[in-house]
Amino acid sequence: MSVGKWARRAFAAGASGLVLMVLAACGGGTEQVTPFEPKRYFVFGDAMSVLTKEAPQGRKYTVNALNDGAVDCAADSSDQPSRLWTQILGDTFDFVFAECNPSAQTVNAFSYATADAKSADFAAQLEAAQQEHGAFGCTDMVSVLIGANDVIDLFETVYLADPTSATANTVANQLAARGARLGRAIAALTDNNGPAAIVSTVPLINLTPYAFRQSALHPNANVRNVLQQFSNAFNTSLRLNIPNDGSRWGLVELDAMVNAAVNNPEDYDLDNVTEAVCAVDLPNCNNTAADLVPDGNAETWLWASDRWIGWRAHTALGSFARTRARDNPFGCS
């Protein structure tokens, strides 16, 4: 099965809630009249959107493709579909990142994502972008995927210190508040002819290899259930605090995608949905036997590391994001 087909089937299997939310994000089915052709693209988020700036540039927090032994940040072959979801979205409009520019083209895409970022860091990322490139307008596009580190941080620093249902509810409320603040910040950014935004939910952390390991380490802490509660609290609040106006933003649901892949891996040609394929730390994991676990396959494993998605999930997420950017009625009013 091709990666494109995997993406389409993941969408179909993502539950009716995904379909309903996408329709809502499109403004009740409003279609574009004039195609959206943004002039600049800005990326905000965490490790899932990072292209490293330090040499060798363009390494990723997934598996790096190789070409003649060197990292190939732009690889898009059928056997190494290693582009990040942001690269797939950016390619839709011929955007080029400085961190991955092998042909020395004009740079018109700018990434402010950092690996350890939490939702509160969105404000600083946004300010840095505006200081360097000026105010945003309706011919700009931004993408936002951030919040997984919030879930993991509060799980480790608050919940595990007192793993009770009361603590779990406290953490869930804190994560809901963080999701709400992020949603309101995105809404404010896109208001008044601001940029169009592609916004992604965070993956369900309870489905990650990290969750399985923590569950084994803390067998009496109800780990996977609370991580699901925490992920849902953040994602639900994020959705609810962005106005239902598809003319300014489009939603992609990484949580639903991952859930569909984990529940039906055979439908998507995935051999492993519970373990990390990388045996070394990201972003230094290359598509070579020396860096992957024994019998690991970057093409057929869902997870690159204990918490970050692999090639196929990036491809599916990027495909959905591209559809939102093309089909939502973005543009200047």
Tens-digit pLDDT profile for residues 203-224: 999 999 999 999 999 999 999 9
Residue 17's pLDDT band, with cuts at 50, 70 and 90, is very low
In whole angstroms, what is the distance from residue 178 CA to residue 231 CA?
A: 12
318-331: average pLDDT: 95
pLDDT at 1 over 60: no
pLDDT over 90 percentage in the chain: 86
3 state DSSP class of 128: helix
What global pTM score does this model have?
0.91
pLDDT at 78: 86
Cis peptide, bond prior to residue 56, ω within 30 of zero: yes
pLDDT at 316 over 70: yes
79-92: average pLDDT: 96
Tens-digit pLDDT profile for residues 162-180: 999 999 999 999 999 999 9
Tens-digit pLDDT profile for residues 22-76: 333 433 344 555 789 999 999 999 999 999 999 999 999 999 999 999 999 999 9
pLDDT at 31: 52
In whole angstroms, what is the distance from residue 36 CA to residue 39 CA?
A: 10
In whole angstroms, what is the distance from residue 311 CA to residue 298 CA?
A: 7
Q: Name all domains of the chain by residue range, CATH numbers in brackets.
A: 3-327 (3.40.50.1110)
